[in-house]
Every structure is written in C-alpha cells, then in structure tokens.
C-alpha cells in the first residue's frame, strides 16, 4: 500500500501492496535457485541420475551388480572412454568438435605395436611404446588444430577428414592384421593394480584431476571458456585464438594417445579397429555432463559423471541380459533429453540476463 499526491494537493492511498519490485521484472532469484541453476546444481542432477541407475541395477541384479568386482569392471570400462572425454571437453567448451579421436586412438595403438617400435622397446625399455603412442596422438591433434585454426577449415570437416585418414593409415601399417605385444613387462604393468584398484582406473583418475585443475585453476582454462563464449571478443581482448585452438586439438589428440596406451594394456594388441565410434561415446558423455555444444560452459566433473552414467547403464543392461540394440536406444534417449535440457537452460539464462 502506497501514498500518492493528487494534482489538487491531496494525498491518495493506492491499495496495491508495495513489493519493492519493479513491475514487469522478475524478483531476484533465491540463493537456492541460483545454486541449482549453476554447475553444482547440474552436477547434483547427474549424481541423482547415477544413483537412480545404481538402485535399478541393485534391484534387478542384486547378486552380481552390487559386488566390488563389478564396480571395478564398471570403472575399468569407463576409464578409456573417460580419458578421451576429458580431452573432448576442452574442445567442445571452446566451441569446437573432434570426430577423429577414435581413429587416432586406433592409429596410435598400431604404431606402438609395429615390429620396428617393439624392436626399439626390446633393446631399451617398453616405455618407448608409450612414447610412440603419445607422439602419434599429439601429432594428429596438432594437424587438426593447424588445419582448423590457420587453414580456416570447419572443425567438423577437418576432423572428419582425419577420422578417415587415420583409420586408413592404421589399416595400411597393420596390413589389416592384429599386432600383438611381446613385452611382458608392458603387459604386467598395465594389468597390475595399486591398492586393489586397476592401473587403468588410476590413469583415468589422474587425467581427470589434471583436466579439472587445467580448466578451473589456470589461464589456459579461462581462455578456453572465453573463446567458447565469444570468439571475436576473446581476440579483441588479446587472446591468440588461433594458437589456443591448436593447443586444444593437440590436447584432444594427446588424450587419444593416452587412451591408446590404455587399450593396449587391456587387450595386449594393437589394431586399426580400436576406438571405433569412441568419438561419439565421448561427445555423448560430455554433452550429458552439461557441456554446451555451442561452447562457453562445461565442467570436467560433469564429464566424469556422464561417463560413469553410460558405463553403469551399460553394465545394468549386461547384468539383465538385454541386447546391445536396447542399450543404443537408451543412450539415444538420454542424449536427446540432455540436449533438450541444455536448450531450456540456455533460454532461461537468456531471460534472466534480460
């Protein structure tokens, strides 16, 4: 209720209660609403989704799903695609895409298991195989980044070309054969465990932590988010956008190289078929984890949760003897729901800003 002065000098009382809010504008959102609409709220939703899947698995397959060995199986299956997804997160946050990581992973596994590479490793140390795999991934990522940044080729087309070329080169080098690893020390190391947890899971954890620090605690991460939010404004602010783009794709390629080493340790063989469709699984995990496909927002924590959601869901299907076709349909539905939620969030954020 408020008082108003009339032209005659009298005071009139307005019966409408005064709320202190300007008409036509929404009130300031509450702290709880701001929390739920931020990264913490999105990650909380992912945690709840993961818990729900775990509950379903525990109910439908109580004797096998809830065992510690099955938990390690889920984490082991999530580790390789998880490493690729961490690198993919940086690329997508910056507004890019990389369709070649699966093929680069296959190429790196082949190069690391060639007779020439294994001969060098035999005369020195098995770490040479790791170095070759990482070098192949890094080189492929650098080529992608240079073509995209300095050749002005659309990321989709540049990485699609690398997808085809890397897979073809892997087939040529391997002569369409499966190349086995001769080094027992290499196999023993990557099949060992530390504190009861597989080495592959530890590698995934280390890569995820490094990725989190790089994105949230360094200038590199801030520049990545800025480029994804507004590329031209980032350039005007003094960021070397082209050079940073090269770094991002090199990082994604390096992640594919690490994943190649991990799959070599898991399968003890290199082949051109390694990594098929891994790029799609990585993109799906990143998107479900809350990273915007248009760039400018994303978290490593969300990506890790997205990877775990898909890995746990697949395990639930396996425990219940459901076909891979049903798994594919379920993954498709999850991806569609995630994209729709992203669009709704983007619209609500735009209205809040206005």
Average pLDDT over residues 228-239: 89
Would you say 301 and 212 are in contact if contact means Cβ atoms under 8 Å apart? Answer: yes
DSSP string, 69-128: HHHHHHHHHHHHHHHHHHHHHHHHHTT---S-HHHHHHHHHHHHTSHHHHHHHHHS-THH
Provide the pLDDT confidence category of residue 135 given band limits of 50, 70 and 90. very high
Cα–Cα nearest to 87, from 279, 276, 332, 347: 279
CA distances to 139, 172, 216, 268 from 167, rounded to whole Å, are: 15, 9, 34, 19
Residue with the bigger pLDDT between 18 and 308: it is 308
Measure the CA–CA gap between 243 and 145, rounded to whole angstroms: 8
Structurally, at CATH architecture level, domain 69-315 sits in Orthogonal Bundle (1.10)
Sorted by where each begins, the domain ranges of the chain are 69-315
Buried/exposed code over 130-153 (b: 16+ C-beta within 10 A; e: otherwise): bbbbbbbbbbbbbbbbbbbbeeee
Per-residue pLDDT tens for 145-188? 999 999 999 999 999 999 999 999 999 998 888 888 888 888 88
For the cut 50, the answer to whether the pLDDT of residue 339 exceeds it is yes
Measure the CA–CA gap between 333 and 179, rounded to whole angstroms: 37
Cα–Cα nearest to 167, from 94, 256, 299, 48: 256
- Percent with pLDDT over 70 in the chain: 84
- Percent with pLDDT over 90 in the chain: 47
Q: Which residue has the tokens 């080495």?
A: 199
Per-residue pLDDT tens for 275-302? 888 999 999 999 988 888 888 888 999 9
For the cut 80, the answer to whether the pLDDT of residue 101 exceeds it is yes
Q: Which residue has the tokens 């093929």?
A: 103
Cα–Cα nearest to 278, from 71, 70, 88, 49: 88
């Amino acid at each position: 209720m408020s008082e108003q002065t009339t032209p005659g000098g009298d005071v009139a009382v307005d019966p409408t209660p005064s709320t202190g809010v300007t008409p036509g504008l929404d009130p300031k959102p509450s702290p709880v609403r701001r929390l739920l609409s931020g990264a913490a709220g999105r990650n909380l939703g992912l945690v709840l989704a993961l818990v729900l899947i775990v509950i379903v698995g525990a109910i439908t397959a109580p004797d096998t799903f809830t065992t510690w060995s099955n938990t390690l199986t889920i984490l082991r299956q999530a580790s390789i695609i998880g490493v690729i997804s961490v690198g993919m997160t940086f690329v997508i946050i910056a507004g890019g895409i990389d369709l070649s990581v699966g093929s680069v992973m296959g190429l790196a596994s082949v190069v690391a298991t060639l007779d020439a590479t294994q001969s060098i490793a035999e005369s020195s140390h098995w770490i040479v195989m790791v170095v070759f795999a990482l070098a192949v991934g890094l080189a492929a990522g650098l080529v992608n980044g240079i073509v995209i940044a300095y050749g002005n080729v659309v990321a989709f087309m540049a990485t699609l070309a690398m997808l085809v070329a890397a897979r073809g080169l892997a087939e040529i080098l391997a002569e369409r054969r499966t190349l086995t690893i001769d080094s027992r020390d290499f196999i023993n190391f990557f099949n060992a465990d530390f504190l009861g947890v597989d080495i592959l899971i530890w590698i995934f954890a280390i890569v995820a932590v490094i990725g989190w620090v790089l994105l949230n605690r360094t200038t590199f991460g801030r520049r990545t988010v800025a480029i994804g939010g507004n590329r031209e404004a980032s350039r005007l602010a003094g960021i070397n956008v082209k050079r940073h783009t090269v770094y991002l794709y090199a990082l994604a390629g390096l992640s594919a190289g690490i994943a190649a080493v991990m799959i070599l340790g898991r399968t003890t063989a290199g082949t051109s078929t390694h990594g098929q469709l891994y790029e799609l699984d990585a993109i799906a995990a990143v998107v479900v984890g809350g990273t915007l496909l248009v760039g400018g927002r994303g978290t490593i924590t969300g990506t890790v949760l997205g990877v775990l959601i898909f890995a746990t869901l697949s395990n639930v299907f396996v425990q219940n003897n459901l076909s891979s076709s049903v798994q594919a349909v379920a993954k498709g539905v999850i991806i569609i729901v995630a994209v729709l939620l992203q669009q709704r969030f983007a619209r609500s954020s735009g209205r809040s800003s206005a």
